[in-house]
């Protein structure tokens, strides 16, 4: 008998039979058209930059490949006829090969961008000047009460609350628009710190109703005086805001940018106003400066006139591309622009500097001199610019700071000021301990140089309403004071108390000028004006209406014989919810001629 021969090589394995479906060419054309249509829809909503340095571009390519292969599977009916599966596999070879090429490009890109090989480049992405605390002029120096006029007395959350209240006073708009907190921007305007808030639609139905006209206003909040103003564009002779982050379709800002600049990688846009109050979108776009995908840095800025419709924007006039950051920095016409570099980008770059300054290995082993930013940041006004500030700690000990990073958001000038002390969260806890019985929360601290004393300044708030001011020494966390009057935050009282506690601890008296320009008479006049702006009225409730503004319930109350409605937020006084028609009440309100006035207090 002849021996049995067994072939283990696999050469004798039957080959897969590729059976093309009927009308093969037509079905390929349908798959291609479906991929084009699906890709167009995906691009419209995903808006990836057509750029090998943008990770979303690779996701977009993967989606196109998936659509094409999926359509081949569907058009050939391979799900019902398994004999067509080999055909679908063969059709997928070229798309998958293309995908593999892009995957290799991305993989190699990550490799050549890795800090393991490029630690020095990462450490040099931002240039930092190191100095002792108090040197230079990057930190607000306080020698008098007058100096506080450039200091933001409140944080973003309190400003947002004030903006909501101001919008709530406008009955025609409060039901249609809400404040867009995400894209608010802190700027210097008329020499004082302001936060600019754009509007957005309350919901999709309100967008349908109002999108043709656009947004009629924006809100600006003075961070020093704590006054919010709804800026009506028509009153300034301007068109309504058409291009905005609050739009849904073609007028949406990121869509306008992508369709005009398909290869640009944009960062976070900011709404800023020029010296006349005209709103513009300042849109940073960046490049990856280390390898293919590492080292984000701002390359240029696109300036978009918010009051021009997307279809009417003209490049070079209402849509201006500054291809070099230096072109914008050195252009005096645009000195009003405060934020070219976003805060998250600056913190990211500073952390690269702090981690890899001593090399890659030292960044993880030994960690000599390695430092990182604390959680949270705030803003300092210095000169005409806004500076980002954050505490810096050693990675081996994060319960205290070793200094502060202060970075100009317009020029990226960065300074590290060395000083040891408590972290911002430690200062907040110290301030809150003074009012632990009240449950008030401290805002994120602001760093000040009070006659050479490194000081955290913050507001103490209850439901985002400022109740008091607090100061805490950076170097001595136990030196913490607040203004004593719970009914009215008193900056001068807080400052005097702080001077006393510093003197008790260090035997050094801080020299502060407490006189505002115009002397005490000026202060008395201001006090008189503040008193005179409130009026009182007593009457019977004839109507109560409510509206919810960004989660805050606003009650609109009408009294007999009076056409005016008095608006009261539950955050201001929660007793308003138990009022009924027929109740007799006394209302303390802000005097004015509007049909809706802000109520400050309501009593029976």
- Summarised one tens digit per residue, pLDDT across range 445-458 is 999 999 889 999 99
Q: How far apart are CA 129 and CA 369, in angstroms?
A: 15
- The pLDDT value recorded for residue 138 is 61
Q: How far apart are CA 21 and CA 17, in angstroms?
A: 13
The contacts of residue 450 (CB under 8 Å, 6+ apart) are: 142, 471, 495, 498, 510, 512
CA angle 432, 435, 441 (to 5 degrees): 45
H-helix or E-strand containing 534? Answer: strand 534-549
Banded model confidence at residue 4, pLDDT cuts 50, 70, 90: low
Of 397 and 312, the structure prediction assigns the larger pLDDT to 312
- The pLDDT value recorded for residue 524 is 41
pLDDT, one tens digit per residue, over 116-142 is: 999 999 999 999 999 988 777 667 788
Instruction: Return the minimum-mean-pLDDT range out of 14-18, 77-81, 426-430, 580-584.
Output: 14-18
- The pLDDT value recorded for residue 533 is 54
Banded model confidence at residue 550, pLDDT cuts 50, 70, 90: very low
Residue 14 has pLDDT above 90, yes or no: no
The answer to whether 114 and 356 are in contact (CB under 8 A) is no
If 0-12 CB within 10 Å is exposed, 13-18 middle and 19+ buried, where does residue 473 land?
buried
- Residues 298-313, mean pLDDT to the nearest whole number: 94
Chain position carrying tokens 């405060």 = 338
Residue 9 has pLDDT above 70, yes or no: no
Q: How far apart are CA 241 and CA 438, in angstroms?
A: 42
> Which token pair is 385?
């610019």
The CA-to-CA distance between both ends of the chain, in Å, stands at 116
Count of Cβ atoms closer than 10 Å to residue 517 Cβ: 8
Q: 128-132 and 414-421: which strand pairing?
A: parallel
- Residues 6-21, mean pLDDT to the nearest whole number: 63
Q: How far apart are CA 210 and CA 177, in angstroms?
A: 9
Find the helix packing angle between 55-75 and 24-46, rounded to 10°. 150
- Residues 191-199, mean pLDDT to the nearest whole number: 92
Residue 600 has pLDDT above 90, yes or no: no
Instruction: State the chain's mean pLDDT as an integer.
Output: 87
Label each residue of 537-555 as H, E or C. EEEEEEEEEEEEECCEEEE
Q: How far apart are CA 568 and CA 600, in angstroms?
A: 7
- CATH superfamily label, 533-603: Nucleic acid-binding proteins (2.40.50.140)
The answer to whether 133 and 406 are in contact (CB under 8 A) is no
Q: 265-266 and 217-222: which strand pairing?
A: unpaired
The answer to whether 206 and 176 are in contact (CB under 8 A) is yes
Residue 467 has pLDDT above 60, yes or no: yes
The answer to whether 40 and 258 are in contact (CB under 8 A) is no
If 0-12 CB within 10 Å is exposed, 13-18 middle and 19+ buried, where does residue 363 land?
buried
If 0-12 CB within 10 Å is exposed, 13-18 middle and 19+ buried, where does residue 437 land?
exposed
- The pLDDT value recorded for residue 474 is 94
- Residues 292-311, mean pLDDT to the nearest whole number: 94
- The pLDDT value recorded for residue 526 is 40
Count of Cβ atoms closer than 10 Å to residue 29 Cβ: 12
The answer to whether 54 and 265 are in contact (CB under 8 A) is yes
Of the candidates 181, 200, 209, the residue with the CA atom closest to the CA atom of residue 244: 200
- The pLDDT value recorded for residue 190 is 85
Residue 519 has pLDDT above 50, yes or no: no
Instruction: Return the minimum-mean-pLDDT range out of 66-80, 209-223, 496-510, 544-558.
Output: 544-558
- Residues 385-396, mean pLDDT to the nearest whole number: 90
b/e string for 298-323 if b means 16 or more Cβ within 10 A? bbbbbbbbbbbbbeebeeeebbbbbe
Instruction: Return the minimum-mean-pLDDT range out of 34-38, 109-113, 127-131, 521-525.
Output: 521-525
Q: How far apart are CA 156 and CA 159, in angstroms?
A: 5
CA angle 522, 227, 225 (to 5 degrees): 45
- The pLDDT value recorded for residue 530 is 43
- Residues 180-185, mean pLDDT to the nearest whole number: 92
Of the chain, the percentage scoring pLDDT greater than 70 comes to 92
pLDDT, one tens digit per residue, over 357-377 is: 999 999 999 889 899 999 888
Q: Is the dihedral of CA 72, 76, 77, 79 positive or negative?
A: negative
Q: Is the dihedral of CA 161, 167, 173, 175 positive or negative?
A: positive
- The pLDDT value recorded for residue 556 is 85
Q: How far apart are CA 260 and CA 552, in angstroms?
A: 39
Of the chain, the percentage scoring pLDDT greater than 90 comes to 58
The contacts of residue 555 (CB under 8 Å, 6+ apart) are: 544, 545, 546, 567, 568, 569, 570, 576, 577, 579
The answer to whether 83 and 47 are in contact (CB under 8 A) is no
- The pLDDT value recorded for residue 571 is 63
Residue 10 has pLDDT above 80, yes or no: no
Q: How far apart are CA 564 and CA 568, in angstroms?
A: 13
3-state helix vs strand vs coil in the chain, percent to 5: 35, 30, 35
Instruction: Return the minimum-mean-pLDDT range out of 186-195, 556-565, 584-593.
Output: 584-593
Of 291 and 83, the structure prediction assigns the larger pLDDT to 291
């Amino acid at each position: 008998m002849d021996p049995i021969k067994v072939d283990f090589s696999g050469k004798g394995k039957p080959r897969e039979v590729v059976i093309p479906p009927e009308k093969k060419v037509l079905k390929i054309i349908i798959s291609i058209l479906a991929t084009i249509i699906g890709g167009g829809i995906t691009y419209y909503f995903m808006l990836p930059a057509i750029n090998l340095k943008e990770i979303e571009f690779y996701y977009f390519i993967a989606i196109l490949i998936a659509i094409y292969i999926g359509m081949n599977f569907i058009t050939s009916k391979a799900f019902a006829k398994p004999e067509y599966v080999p055909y679908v596999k063969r059709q997928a070879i070229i798309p998958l090969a293309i995908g593999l090429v892009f995957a290799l490009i991305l993989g190699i890109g990550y490799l050549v961008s890795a800090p393991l090989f490029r630690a020095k480049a990462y450490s040099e992405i931002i240039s930092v000047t190191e100095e002792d605390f108090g040197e230079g002029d990057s930190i607000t120096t306080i020698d008098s009460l007058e100096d506080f006029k450039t200091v933001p007395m409140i944080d973003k959350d309190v400003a947002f609350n004030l903006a909501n209240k101001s919008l709530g006073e406008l009955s025609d708009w409060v039901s249609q628009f809400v404040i867009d907190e995400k894209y608010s921007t802190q700027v210097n305007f008329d020499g004082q710190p302001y936060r600019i808030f754009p509007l957005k639609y309350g919901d999709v139905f309100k967008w349908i109703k109002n999108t043709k006209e656009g947004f009629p206003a924006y809100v600006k909040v003075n961070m020093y005086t704590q006054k919010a103003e709804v800026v009506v564009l028509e009153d300034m002779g301007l068109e309504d805001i058409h291009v905005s982050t609050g739009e849904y379709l073609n007028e949406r800002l990121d869509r306008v940018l992508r369709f005009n600049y398909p290869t640009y990688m944009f960062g976070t846009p900011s709404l800023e106003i020029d010296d006349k109050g005209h709103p513009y979108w300042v849109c940073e776009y960046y490049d990856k400066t280390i390898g293919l995908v590492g080292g984000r840095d701002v390359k240029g800025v696109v300036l978009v006139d918010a009051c021009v419709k997307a279809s009417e924007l003209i490049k070079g006039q209402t849509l201006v591309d500054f291809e070099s950051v230096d072109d914008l920095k050195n252009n005096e016409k645009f000195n009003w622009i405060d934020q070219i570099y976003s805060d998250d980008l600056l913190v990211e770059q500073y952390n690269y500097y702090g981690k890899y300054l001593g090399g890659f290995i030292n960044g993880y082993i030994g960690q000599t001199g390695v430092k990182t930013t604390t959680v949270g940041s705030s803003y300092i006004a210095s000169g005409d610019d806004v500076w980002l500030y954050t505490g810096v700690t050693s990675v081996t000990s994060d319960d205290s700071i070793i200094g502060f990073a202060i970075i100009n958001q317009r020029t990226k000038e960065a300074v590290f000021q060395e000083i040891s002390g408590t972290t911002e969260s430690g200062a907040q806890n110290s301030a809150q301990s003074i009012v632990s019985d009240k449950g008030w929360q401290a805002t994120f601290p602001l760093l000040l140089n009070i006659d050479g004393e490194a000081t955290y300044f913050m507001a103490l708030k209850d439901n985002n309403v400022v109740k008091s001011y607090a100061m805490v020494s950076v170097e001595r966390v136990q030196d913490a004071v607040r203004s004593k009057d719970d009914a009215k935050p008193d900056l001068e009282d807080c400052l005097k108390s702080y001077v006393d506690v510093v003197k008790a601890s260090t035997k050094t008296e801080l020299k502060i000028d407490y006189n505002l320009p115009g002397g005490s008479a000026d202060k008395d006049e201001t006090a008189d004006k503040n008193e005179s702006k409130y009026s009182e009225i007593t009457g019977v409730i004839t109507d109560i209406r409510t509206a919810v503004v960004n989660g805050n319930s606003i009650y609109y109350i009408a009294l007999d014989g009076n056409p005016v409605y008095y608006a009261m937020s539950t955050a201001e006084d929660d007793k308003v919810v138990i009022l009924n028609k027929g109740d007799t009440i006394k209302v303390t309100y802000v005097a004015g001629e509007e049909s809706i006035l802000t109520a400050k207090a309501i009593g029976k």
